[in-house]
Amino acid sequence: MNVDPPIQNFSTRNLSKGARFDCWMHILQDSLWQVTDWRDVPDDFNVDLKTARFGGLTTIAERMTAHHSLRTKSDVERSSERSCHIFLGLKQPWAFTHMGRHERLEQGDVVIMGEGTHETHVPTGFEGIIIKCPESWMKTWLPEPSAIAGRAIRRDTAWGAVLSPMLSQLTPEFVVNAPLPKPVLVDQLGAVLALVAGTDKDRGMRDTLDRVRKCIRERCSDQGLTANDVASALNIPTRALHQALRTGQTAFGTELVRARAEVAVHLLSTTKDRRTLNEIAQKAGFSNMSHFSRVVRLHTGVSPLAILRP
């Protein structure tokens, strides 16, 4: 009975240049996930991989030449398993876009990529550690992995300074010969990810709330503006929009009315071409004059006419 070695090795270096990329495409689907759209692949393309299993997870030490790849929606749909991948770049800077969010990573920065479309741009090659985690395992530690997926965890932040060195140690050689039981290593990683997610989720919610408020302000003149419209403009789920607003103890309607009131007061205070009250109301997004007057009076204590003609 053949038993696989604890560390699996793969390299394209002994293959002809013409065969290297096709061989990598075959290995990629087994070792990581399906990614079929590749660009800017050099003639001397090379990949070196070492992989090892530990406690249901897989650690991958990867060295690869420059490339630009895109995991498409079709790739996601054809994937036979659902998993998340934790990337730690050990040397060169690289960039990625995950579900519409773009980040640039420097040496030692960490990112979690979930099940979804993503694009990676690696102009000078990649060398680092990748931890492949079943999505079911991730959800035991992070009920919503998507909350921090695609967000760079900087090595110089409080939790980045913990997570980055931990991942750099989780090489195939280390996990095979670890002084601790493999379940302990797995639980330690999960616990740190949960702490990172708790801190990052709060910061992420604040960032999302700021973006939502800014978008509402920019688009409040649209009388038919909805939460779905704003979420679509920001490329986030509508549920995430409402969740961010709840963290700010507010709601979409409240923010929309506030934004329209601020625009209306600004127009009333600065108009020099003598717009009518009706024109100002329309410009601020109000379709009803009585509502316009009531909102302005509520926010300023005086009527729109008093502001327009002091």
Does some domain include residue 18? yes
* Residues 160 and 54 both lie in one domain: yes
* Residues 148 and 21 both lie in one domain: yes
Q: Residue 12: give its domain's CATH number.
A: 2.60.120.10
Q: How many domains does the chain have?
A: 2
**For residue 125, is pLDDT > 80?**
yes
* Residues 102 and 28 both lie in one domain: yes
* Residues 198 and 261 both lie in one domain: no
Does some domain include residue 49? yes
- What's residue 80's pLDDT? 78
What type of residue is 93?
A: P
Does some domain include residue 131? yes
- What's residue 69's pLDDT? 92
- What's residue 201's pLDDT? 56
Mean pLDDT is lowest, of 66-75, 191-200, 257-266, for 191-200
Beta bridge partners of 37: 70
**For residue 126, is pLDDT > 80?**
yes
Q: What is the rounded average pLDDT of the residues 259-288?
A: 86
**pLDDT tens track for 273-286:** 578 889 899 999 99
Between the ranges 24-28, 84-88, 243-247, where is the mean pLDDT highest? 84-88
Mean pLDDT is lowest, of 1-15, 63-77, 211-225, for 1-15
Higher per-residue pLDDT: 79 or 297: 297
- What's residue 154's pLDDT? 92
> 181 — phi, psi (to 5°)?
-60, 145
Does some domain include residue 227? no
- What's residue 272's pLDDT? 63
* Residues 154 and 270 both lie in one domain: no
* Residues 258 and 190 both lie in one domain: no
Does some domain include residue 136? yes
Task: Quote the domain boundaries for residue 154.
Answer: 8-202
* Residues 84 and 178 both lie in one domain: yes
> 168 — phi, psi (to 5°)?
-65, -25
> 281 — phi, psi (to 5°)?
-60, -45
* Residues 36 and 175 both lie in one domain: yes
- What's residue 215's pLDDT? 94
**For residue 184, is pLDDT > 70?**
yes
Sheet holding 67-71, edge to edge: 37-39, 67-71, 118-122, 94-98, 101-105
Mean pLDDT is lowest, of 34-48, 123-137, 236-250, for 236-250
* Residues 131 and 263 both lie in one domain: no
**For residue 197, is pLDDT > 70?**
yes
- Please choose, from the candidates 1, 47, 2, the residue with its C-alpha nearest in 3D space to the C-alpha of residue 21: 47
Q: How far apart are CA 94 and CA 109, in angstroms?
A: 10
How many H-runs (helices) and E-runs (strands) does the chain carry? 12, 11
Higher per-residue pLDDT: 242 or 309: 242
Q: Which of 159, 183, 202 is the last residue of a domain?
A: 202
* Residues 265 and 160 both lie in one domain: no
Q: Which of 202, 234, 263 is the last residue of a domain?
A: 202
Does some domain include residue 134? yes
**For residue 212, is pLDDT > 80?**
yes
Q: How far apart are CA 213 and CA 30, in angstroms?
A: 43
Q: Residue 301: give its domain's CATH number.
A: 1.10.10.60
Does some domain include residue 295? yes
At residue 204 the predicted structure's pLDDT band, cuts being 50, 70 and 90, is: low
Q: How far apart are CA 199 and CA 177, in angstroms?
A: 32
At residue 66 the predicted structure's pLDDT band, cuts being 50, 70 and 90, is: very high
Burial pattern 154-185, b for ≥16 Cβ within 10 A else e, equals bbebebbeebbebbbebbbebbeeeeeebeeb
* Residues 198 and 258 both lie in one domain: no
Q: Which of 202, 217, 235 is the last residue of a domain?
A: 202
Does some domain include residue 241? no
Q: What is the rounded average pLDDT of the residues 211-226?
A: 91
Q: How far apart are CA 35 and CA 26, in angstroms?
A: 10
pTM of the model: 0.66
* Residues 182 and 260 both lie in one domain: no
- What's residue 141's pLDDT? 87
